[in-house]
Chain A
Amino acid sequence: MTRAFLRQWVFSLDHKVIGKQYLAIGVAMAAIGAFAAYIMRWQLAFPNIPAPLYGLVDPGPYNAWLTMHGTIMMFFVAMPILLGAFGNFFIPLMVGAHDMAFPRLNRASVWILFVASVVLVASLFVEEGPAAAGWTNYAPLSIDPMYTGVGIGFDLWLVAVFLDFVSVLLSGLNVLTTALNMRAPGLSLGRLPLFVWTQVVAAVLFVFSAGPLMGAILMMLGDRHLGTGFFVAERGGAPLLWQHLFWFFGHPEVYVILLPALGISFEVFATFCRRPVAGYRWLLGALWASAGLSFLVWAHHMFVSGMSVRLALPFSITTIIISVPFAMVVFALIATLRGAALERSTAMLFALGMLATFLVGGVTGIFLGSPAVDMYLHDTYFVVAHFHYTLFPSVVLGGFAGLYYWFPKMFGRMLDESLGRWHFWLTWLSFHAVFLPLFVAGTRGHMRRVYDPTQYEFLQPLLPIHRIATVAAIVLLASQMVVVWNVVRTLWKGQRAEGNPWGGTTLEWATPSPPPAENFMRIVQVTRAPYGYEQTGSGVQPLPQWVERDAP
């Protein structure tokens, strides 16, 4: 019994088991991240009134919760779910492989992530509390305990993030090798599904950007314990150096998260529009161009940081130019609706909702990319609203599009579509009710990360905005009960899924749902590009990418 359990879960090398474990870690961490959001929102709307399920929020813990929210959502929810879960589960299936290229490395990656998560969660329980300098962890606030009263919490944060990066690095190498070397016969790079391409670009981005921050983490540990002074002015260091290293990683990181979410929506759009995604090759060009540019924009987070003001011009130009490839991606998705024979589904709703929401996030970035306007809006709720309008559609709406689309393949049963529609509309509308008002709080000059805004006279009239946002945030969190219920009920007694329930054309649909241990019973030969459909007498029918043949 224990042996079988260990073999199936703890030491299993099956990419599908590992993918589900990533999903479990991501969802568990999301619950903590959501709780952190609830505590922050409560305190902002009802300062100094005890929060139900928590109690009175003090300024120190408030800073800790805001730090945990950002850290958890970026590193322990977005990456594990979009890269770890969907990447692991579907890259081998979509390239027609029986597993990832390095199954043991894959097993190690998920265990390292698990340890990293335990370290981060453990920091919630140490005596002086967890790290409390924001997810950006600026020096020297994060270096000397006399500034925050937090000691080991910062070390645990640094170790957890470092381990998290080790995990994603290893899994990124695995993704690259699998996508490039394990493709089924006939699956040329030009026939690769776009989801796999976005995972490849994301892996390249992560592998090239993580190093500097991992080095910076070690340097900061040195500053904290060995008396080095990389980021400490009195010891000859530069606080700005941390900011440069952090954002050199931090901006590509946004695309590491966004690209796989876009990849999901490409798949969903093609399947439910019953036609190819518009401009496949142009899209690939746009993805690589935005990836390349994302390495050259980091200092737009630092226009008012005190860095040389001459640097504002080049970084503002690259920042604003990056809107061009993204505009192409967005227009390609929209053009895909042309001549579409649209099939309604929850997955498509989430993908469309993601597109419309991300548009707002994209255009509000233009304001912040202009240094003069950024001088006023930097570090205000305008920034908070802007990046939630980019990350929420990617991680949450994109993630749910993937879940509703691929759940039958992952778990062999069909999620309830009408519950799915309720879930979408509740989530989508309450999200806008949280973050649209916060744009106005930002233009009114409301600084972010302020524990009790009523301390400032000019912020007192903005309390109603906080109340609307908080009530909507509670509705948003509560709405997730709908999907939890849907998943539980479906796993228990949902309708069984056939191999290709949506009429998809890519290789993951060539297997039974859920796929057996080695994925493919027979050899799949890829004969055409993905997303082919043809008009027949009984409607538009998929032209699968593959034909099957017996092993020689």
Chain B
Amino acid sequence: MVLLWFSSIQRWLWPPATSTFAADIDALFLMIASVVGLWLAATLAVLEWLLWKANRRRRGGGLFAAEAREIRWIVVAAVGVFVSDLAIEVRGQRLWEQLVSAAPPNALAIRVEARQFAWTVLHPGPDGELGTTDDIELQNELHVPVDQTVEVRLRSRDVVHSFFLPTVRLKQDVLPGTEVRRWFVPTEVGTFPIACAELCGFGHYRMGGRLVVHSASDYQQWLFSAAGSELSTPEAGAQ
């Protein structure tokens, strides 16, 4: 029952989760939601209760008593908030450390260069190395194999953009003059959105793209056909 409720709320609240981190971020969100939700509900309940009592007392007058007791309430509640904060902080910090850690050495490195208003994605070719002649350059399309660690190396040619993969739960601003690296592991095969999340000019709203996650065998096929089509026309490639 609880599980059913959980999964339905999940479908309603979030896009599908298609990376190893996505479920962790959603779970942290729900943890925070339950802690602050309890506080919110309790606080509103006390507010309503006191209002109801004060309303009945209207005109009769009761005046307050015992300020020391009120202060004790306030301090106890503040300590409670502090403890809840700590719990959220400790759990959140562990996840953040993972999210922004350096990629494992076997990661597939892909360069994403943002400009107004498109993403230029440079995939390593069949040799698995970036910066060699068999690299595959695509506009607004990022192809990756499933269950493989992917490191995106983000650069901007002009203004600040933000590389956003909603189903992966990854978002990273892309800065001119600095390369920022983030990594993720896609866990589902399919086509998912890429979006720009930082206002970057009048075409910001159409700076979208596609994240294509292939199965391992499909990826090899795509790799060779994409690289092949580039290699078969070397003159075009040279230009």
Do the beta carbons of B78 and A373 come within 8 Å of each other?
no
- Interface size range on B against A: 35 or more
Write out the residue numbers on chain A whose beta carbons fall within 8 Å of the beta carbon of B193.
Answer: 456-458
Beta-carbon contact of B175 and A233 below 8 Å = yes
Contact A445 B14 (CB under 8 A): yes
Does residue A380 face the partner (Cβ distance < 8 Å to B)? yes
Q: Which residues of A contact B54 (CB under 8 A)?
A: 273, 337, 339-342
Interface assignment of A239: CB less than 8 Å from any CB of chain B: yes
Which 4 residue pairs of A and B lie closest in terms of their CB atoms, listed nearest first? A233-B177, A445-B166, A339-B64, A370-B92
CB neighbours (8 Å) of A31 from chain B are none
Stretch at the interface among A174-182, A323-331, A487-495: A323-331
Chain A 321-356 near chain B by CB (<8 Å), digits 1 or 0: 101110110111011111111111000000010011
Residues in chain B near residue A339, CB distance under 8 A: 54, 57, 62-65
Contact between B77 and A331, CB atoms less than 8 A apart: yes
Contact status A452-B205, CB under 8 Å: yes
- Rounded to whole angstroms, the CA-CA distance of A15 and B182 in the bound complex is 56
By the criterion CB–CB under 8 Å, are B51 and A337 in contact? yes
What 0/1 readout, one digit per residue, does chain B (89-112) give for beta carbons within 8 Å of chain A?
100110110011000000000000
B85 touches A320 (CB 8 A): yes
Nearest CB in chain B to that of A47: its residue: B205
Q: Which residues of B contact A447 (CB under 8 A)?
A: 164, 195-197
Q: Is B216 an interface residue (CB 8 A)?
A: no
Contact A378 B29 (CB under 8 A): no
CB < 8 Å neighbour of B208 from A148, A355, A455: A455
Q: What are the residues of chain A within 8 A of B198 when measuring CB–CB?
A: 138, 379
- Asked if B15 contacts A337 (CB within 8 A), the reply is no
Q: Roughly how many angstroms separate A306 CA and B153 CA in the complex, as a whole number?
A: 12
Contact status B205-A282, CB under 8 Å: no
B residues near A376, Cβ cutoff 8 Å = 25, 29, 166, 169, 171
Quick check: A320 and B43 within 8 Å, CB to CB? no
Q: Which residues of A contact B93 (CB under 8 A)?
A: 313, 316, 371
A342 in contact with B55 (CB, 8 Å): yes
Q: Does A451 contact B (CB under 8 A)?
A: yes
18 contacts between A and B (CB under 8 A): A138-B199, A274-B63, A278-B67, A305-B173, A312-B100, A321-B82, A328-B75, A328-B77, A341-B54, A341-B61, A342-B55, A371-B96, A378-B171, A443-B29, A445-B14, A450-B205, A458-B15, A534-B63
Is A341 within 8 A of B58, CB to CB?
Answer: yes
Chain B CB within 8 A of A140 CB: yes
Cβ of A126 under 8 Å from chain B: no
Which of A60, A320, A443, A456 is close to B89, meaning CB atoms less than 8 Å apart? Answer: A320
Contact residues in A for B24 (Cβ distance below 8 Å): 372
CB distance from B167 to the nearest CB of A (A): 8
* Residue A19 at the chain B interface, CB threshold 8 Å: no
Bound form: Cα–Cα A443–B33 in Å: 12
Question: In the complex, what residue of chain B is closest to A237 when comparing beta carbons?
Answer: B177
B36 vs chain A, min Cβ distance (A): 4
| 8 Å CB interface, B46-89 against A | 46-47, 50-51, 54-55, 57-65, 67, 70-71, 73-75, 77-78, 81-82, 85, 88-89
Which residues of B line the A interface, CB within 8 A? 12-15, 24-25, 28-29, 32-33, 35-37, 39-40, 43-44, 46-47, 50-51, 54-55, 57-65, 67, 70-71, 73-75, 77-78, 81-82, 85, 88-89, 92-93, 95-96, 99-100, 116, 158-160, 162, 164, 166, 169-178, 180, 193, 195-206, 208
Contact B199–A449 (Cβ < 8 Å): yes
Contact of B206 among A60, A141, A372, A455 (CB under 8 A): A455
Known A-B contacts A279-B70, A317-B89, A355-B47; A342 and B78 likewise in contact (beta carbons under 8 Å): no
When C-beta atoms are compared, the residue in chain B nearest to A447 turns out to be: B197
Known pairs A371-B92, A376-B25, A539-B59; A331 contacts B201 (CB<8 A): no
Given contacts A279-B74, A317-B89, A335-B74, contact A341 B40 (CB under 8 A): no
Which residues of A (152-192) have their CB < 8 Å from a CB of B? none
Would you give the shortest CB distance from A48 to chain B, in whole angstroms?
12
In the bound complex, residues from chain B placing their C-beta under 8 Å from that of A380 are 197
